[in-house]
Amino acid sequence: MSGVLLEVENYSGAFWSPTNELVPVLHQVSYRLKTGAMTAVVGETGSGKSLVALSIFGIQPAAFVCTSGRILYRDTDLLGIDEKEMRSLRGAEISMVFQDARAALNPVFTVGRQLADVYQLQHGGGRSAAMAKAIEALRQVSIPEPERRARQYPHEFSGGMAQRAMIAMAALTCRPSLLILDEPTTGLDVTIQSDIMELIVELSRQRGLTTCLITHDLGVVAEICDEVVVMNAGRVVETGTTEAIFTAPTETYTRRLLAASQLLEAAA
C-alpha cells in the first residue's frame, strides 16, 4: 500500500433503534487517505462523514454496530484491534481535533495542565519539563503570552484560541502521522476561521502530516485540500482530486452540492 496511509474498505454499519432493530446508516464506504496529502470528506448533515472519522479514531457511539468492512492503517485493521492497542495508536499515530474545542477540553483543568498531561503520557519525563513543552506548543500555534495562557481554564479562551490550543495538543504535543479534523472551524467567525485553516495547513506541511478534514464548507476545501471524498446518506458518492471534483464533477449529487455552495441554480 505504498502512498496510502489509511484505507477505509467497504465499511458498513447500523444503529440500534429504540425498538431493537438495526437501522443501516453506512453503506460500503470506501476511501483512501494518501500519505502526506490533505483529504477533505465533505457532505451535509447525516451523510455519515463524522461517523467514519470517529470509527477511524475508535470512538464511534456505543449504539453503532459495524456490519462489514475494514479500516486499514498502515497494515493494521483498526476494527480488529482491542482498546489497549487502539490507545497505543491514539496520539502517537492518529490524532483528532473536534468541532467545539471549548467543549472538547476539560473545563476543570488548566489548558497548560491538559497539554502537559498528554505530553507526559506520550513521551514520559517530569512535570515541569512537560509544562515547558506545553507552553512551547502554545507558542508555536501563535497563542499570545503562552505562559499566562497555560495557567488559564478553557472558559477563559475564545473559541479561536481554544481551537489553537486543541491543535497544539493534537499535532504538536502528540506527534501523529494522521491528523483528523472534524469541522474544526464551524461556529468560528470568518476571519478566525481563515487564521485557523492557515495554521492547520502550515503545521501539516511542516510536520509532513497526512490530514483528513471533515467539513461541509466547500470554500475551505477548494482552497487547501488535495483530494476530496463526497459523501451523501451514508455512501461515498464520488472521490477525486480537488481540481477534478470542482471542475469536472461526474455525479449529480456533487454538482448539486457545488451549486448550492456557490448559491447557483442547481445544474442537475
- DSSP secondary structure, 90-154, as one string: BTTTEEEE-S-HHHHS-TTS-HHHHHHHHHHHHH---HHHHHHHHHHHHHHTT-SSHHHHHTS-G
Distance CA 6, CA 14 (A): 22
Grid coordinates given for 121: 503520557
Min. distance of Cβ 33 from other proteins in angstroms? Answer: 21
Strands 178-182 and 94-97, how do they pair? parallel
Min. distance of Cβ 156 from other proteins in angstroms? Answer: 13
Chain contacts with other proteins (rule: CB under 8 A): 44-45, 144, 158, 160-161, 189-194, 197, 216-223, 242-243, 246-247, 256-263, 266
Nearer CB in complex with other proteins: 59/260: 260
Query: Nearest Cα to 223, choosing from 199, 242, 195?
Result: 242
Tell me if 16 sits within 8 A of 200, measured CB to CB: no
Min. distance of Cβ 191 from other proteins in angstroms? Answer: 4
Position of cell 461515498? 236
Strands 76-77 and 64-73, how do they pair? antiparallel
Distance CA 232, CA 230 (A): 7
Min. distance of Cβ 97 from other proteins in angstroms? Answer: 18
Nearer CB in complex with other proteins: 85/243: 243
In sign, the C-alpha dihedral spanning 81, 200, 97, 151 is: positive
Min. distance of Cβ 89 from other proteins in angstroms? Answer: 32
Min. distance of Cβ 137 from other proteins in angstroms? Answer: 20
Min. distance of Cβ 149 from other proteins in angstroms? Answer: 13
Q: Which residues neighbour 3 within 8 Å (Cβ) at sequence distance 6 or greater?
A: 34, 35
- Walk across the sheet containing 22-34 and list its strands: 22-34, 4-16, 64-73, 76-77
